[in-house]
């Protein structure tokens, strides 16, 4: 592709993207294709000769797009959002065009220095105290794995990377059952092992860890000859928004000299609104915090911000410095690849910089406040229907419910069928969970371009699908 063709197709792609975003409300939210349908339309072997871009682009439109679930659709209410505000997309065009490898300061000084500055902007916006330093990870999974590795190394007096785990005391990490499965994976990958992730009982409507039970578990492990290493606390768990008492968890951790990582991947973005910060009271006592601007703030995936009180511990755990990665003649620089597991790093800070400047904190706060208010109003409407029940009250913009018609014996099967029916109709997209062993339907408002009218349509879509189910008349 020569420079003229590159210009033509770059413009074509940008125009396609703008048209796509403008027409999203006319598309079904979830892909309506059957398993294997897309693969069957793609040749089984690669082409030997070059193909024309016209043909490639046409196949993209006719074969690929129909098989896409539209995460930027304003009626995407499933999982958590993976927002890409238009200004963030523009920033990503520029990042992609430059295609810089930002692993070291010297490989792109602007990328490193912008990351330092923009993460301090976000720290201030969140109300985190000075002393927390940030790094952009690809996802909360990587941030959590990094935190668990630091827990491991601190507990083993920095011998784990060198000596491995054989012959060491059994390390123990503590969490509730409300944390994301990325915590389980971090325990696996770190070598600590699933059996050493100790689940602490929860209490209250927030499903928080019982602090007394946490302390008893730590003391019992010490008495058994095990080595407590750290605690993973949760603010806004994926299932129904489970939220620990961060202050109480940190108080227990301080008494036992344990490292605390707080997973606020979704809910953390809401802390730019001061009125929501009571949800993580005591956060200043944490050692590590992760939140994903690519979820609720509008920064295109991937952009996960990881804040730590002691960057030296993170660097001591992860940094490897062969001669070819050293920067000679520059003092006081940051090489963010030493703060992360991958060596390679994309220029993720640019989209966050564009986003915060183009919308301002007040614009982003307004979006989040609207989502919370609209979701809470929708929960009240659903809960007022005689054949529905709220299973969990709104945690910010997340709640769960069940359809409970009198003549249906198997409500779990019925609600799974209802989710499938709703999603097959395509007006909205929802997902299910289990709460206290029973199936519930999750609803979460967080899509960047959602309006109050979109949530009103969600109410109509849910009720019409439910009332058309067998046995629901």
Q: What is the pLDDT of residues 173-203, one digit of tens each?
A: 999 888 888 888 899 988 899 999 999 999 8
Mean pLDDT for 349-374 is: 96
Please check whether residues 341 and 404 belong to one and the same domain.
Answer: no
Please check whether residues 184 and 297 belong to one and the same domain.
Answer: yes
Query: Residue 232: what are its φ and ψ, rounded to 5°?
Result: -110, 115
Give the separation between CA 407 and CA 397, rounded to whole angstroms.
31
Which among 40, 54, 77 has a CA at the least distance from the CA of 445?
Answer: 77
Determine how many CB atoms are found less than 10 A away from the CB of residue 90. 17
Q: Would you place residue 266 in the very low, low, confident or very high pLDDT band (cuts 50, 70, 90)?
A: very high
Mean pLDDT for 318-344 is: 70
Does the pLDDT at position 7 exceed 50? yes
Which among 41, 81, 78 has a CA at the least distance from the CA of 61?
Answer: 41
Mean pLDDT for 354-366 is: 96
Percent over 70 (pLDDT), the chain? 97
Quickly tell me which residue has 């000679």 as its tokens: 328
Q: Would you place residue 358 in the very low, low, confident or very high pLDDT band (cuts 50, 70, 90)?
A: very high
Please check whether residues 189 and 314 belong to one and the same domain.
Answer: yes
State the CATH number of the domain containing residue 468. 3.90.1150.170
User: How confident is the model over 49-108, as pLDDT tens digits?
Assistant: 999 999 999 999 999 999 999 999 999 999 888 999 999 999 999 998 888 887 887 778
Q: What is the pLDDT of residue 246?
A: 96
Please check whether residues 171 and 312 belong to one and the same domain.
Answer: yes
Query: Residue 49: what are its φ and ψ, rounded to 5°?
Result: -115, 155
User: How confident is the model over 430-454, as pLDDT tens digits?
Assistant: 999 999 999 999 999 999 999 999 9
Pairing of strands 398-403, 171-175: unpaired
In a domain, 240, yes or no: yes
In a domain, 365, yes or no: yes
Please check whether residues 257 and 385 belong to one and the same domain.
Answer: no
Task: Give the number of domains in the chain.
Answer: 2
Does the pLDDT at position 135 exceed 80? yes
Q: Which of 299, 315, 346 finishes a domain?
A: 346
Please check whether residues 329 and 445 belong to one and the same domain.
Answer: no
Paired with 304 in beta bridges are 137
Q: Would you place residue 332 in the very low, low, confident or very high pLDDT band (cuts 50, 70, 90)?
A: low
Mean pLDDT for 410-428 is: 94
Please check whether residues 400 and 275 belong to one and the same domain.
Answer: no
Give the separation between CA 377 and CA 383, rounded to whole angstroms.
10
In a domain, 352, yes or no: no
Q: What is the pLDDT of residue 263?
A: 94
In a domain, 36, yes or no: no
Please check whether residues 265 and 169 belong to one and the same domain.
Answer: yes
Please check whether residues 187 and 268 belong to one and the same domain.
Answer: yes
Does the pLDDT at position 162 exceed 90? no
Q: Would you place residue 472 in the very low, low, confident or very high pLDDT band (cuts 50, 70, 90)?
A: low
Please check whether residues 158 and 270 belong to one and the same domain.
Answer: yes
Give yes or no for a contact between 314 and 335, defined as CB atoms under 8 angstroms apart.
no
Does the pLDDT at position 465 exceed 50? yes
Give yes or no for a contact between 341 and 318, defined as CB atoms under 8 angstroms apart.
yes
Give yes or no for a contact between 446 and 296, defined as CB atoms under 8 angstroms apart.
yes
Q: Would you place residue 371 in the very low, low, confident or very high pLDDT band (cuts 50, 70, 90)?
A: very high
Q: What is the pLDDT of residue 452?
A: 95
Q: What is the pLDDT of residue 325?
A: 53
In a domain, 397, yes or no: yes
Q: What is the pLDDT of residue 324?
A: 46
Please check whether residues 368 and 251 belong to one and the same domain.
Answer: no
Please check whether residues 436 and 310 belong to one and the same domain.
Answer: no
Q: Would you place residue 343 in the very low, low, confident or very high pLDDT band (cuts 50, 70, 90)?
A: confident
In a domain, 52, yes or no: no
Quickly tell me which residue has 């940008």 as its tokens: 14
In a domain, 59, yes or no: no
Six token digits for residue 231: 């605690």
Q: Which of 299, 320, 346 finishes a domain?
A: 346
State the CATH number of the domain containing residue 247. 3.40.640.10
Give yes or no for a contact between 137 and 146, defined as CB atoms under 8 angstroms apart.
yes
Q: Which of 309, 324, 346 finishes a domain?
A: 346
Q: Would you place residue 331 in the very low, low, confident or very high pLDDT band (cuts 50, 70, 90)?
A: low
Domain that holds residue 19: 1-30+69-83+360-473
Q: What is the pLDDT of residue 333?
A: 81
In a domain, 374, yes or no: yes
Give the separation between CA 418 and CA 430, rounded to whole angstroms.
10
């Amino acid at each position: 592709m020569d420079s003229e063709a590159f210009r033509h197709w770059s413009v074509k792609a940008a125009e396609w993207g703008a048209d796509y975003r403008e027409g999203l409300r006319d598309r079904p939210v979830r892909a309506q294709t059957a398993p294997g349908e897309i693969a069957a339309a793609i040749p089984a072997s690669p082409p030997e000769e070059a193909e024309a871009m016209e043909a490639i682009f046409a196949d993209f439109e006719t074969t690929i797009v129909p098989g896409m679930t539209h995460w930027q659709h304003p009626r995407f209410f499933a999982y958590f959002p993976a927002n890409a505000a238009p200004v963030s997309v523009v920033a990503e065009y520029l990042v992609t065009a430059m295609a810089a490898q930002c692993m070291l300061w010297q490989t792109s000084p602007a990328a490193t220095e912008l990351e330092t500055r923009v993460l301090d902007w976000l720290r201030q916006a969140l109300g985190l105290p000075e002393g927390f330093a940030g790094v952009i990870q690809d996802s909360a999974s990587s941030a959590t794995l990094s935190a668990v590795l630091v827990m491991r190394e601190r507990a083993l007096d920095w011998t784990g990377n060198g000596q491995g785990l054989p012959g060491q005391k059994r390390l123990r990490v503590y969490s509730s059952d409300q944390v994301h499965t990325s915590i389980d994976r971090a325990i696996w990958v770190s070598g600590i092992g699933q059996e050493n992730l100790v689940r602490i009982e929860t209490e209250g409507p927030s499903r928080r860890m019982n602090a007394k039970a946490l302390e008893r578990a730590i003391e019992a492990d010490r008495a058994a000859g095990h080595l407590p290493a750290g605690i993973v606390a949760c603010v806004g768990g994926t299932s129904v928004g489970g939220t620990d008492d961060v202050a109480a968890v940190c108080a227990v951790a301080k008494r036992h000299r344990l490292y605390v990582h707080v997973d606020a991947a979704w809910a953390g973005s809401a802390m730019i609104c001061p009125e929501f910060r009571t949800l993580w009271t005591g956060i200043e006592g944490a050692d590590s915090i992760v939140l994903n601007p690519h979820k609720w703030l509008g920064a295109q995936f991937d952009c996960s911000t990881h804040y730590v009180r002691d960057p030296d511990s993170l660097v001591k755990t992860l940094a490897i410095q062969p001669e070819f990665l050293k920067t000679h003649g520059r003092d006081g620089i940051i090489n963010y690849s030493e703060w992360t597991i991958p060596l390679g790093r994309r220029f993720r800070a640019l989209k966050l910089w564009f986003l915060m400047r183009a919308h301002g904190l007040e614009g982003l706060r307004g979006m989040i406040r609207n989502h919370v208010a609209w979701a809470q109003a929708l929960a009240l409407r659903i809960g007022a229907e005689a054949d529905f029940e709220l299973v969990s009250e709104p945690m910010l913009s997340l709640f769960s419910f069940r359809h409970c018609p009198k003549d249906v014996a198997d409500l779990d099967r019925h609600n799974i069928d209802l989710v499938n029916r709703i999603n097959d109709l395509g007006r909205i997209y929802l997902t299910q969970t289990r709460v206290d062993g029973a199936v519930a339907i999750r609803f979460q408002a967080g899509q960047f371009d959602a309006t109050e009218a979109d949530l009103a349509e969600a109410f109509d879509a849910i009720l019409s699908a439910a009332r058309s189910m067998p046995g629901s008349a």
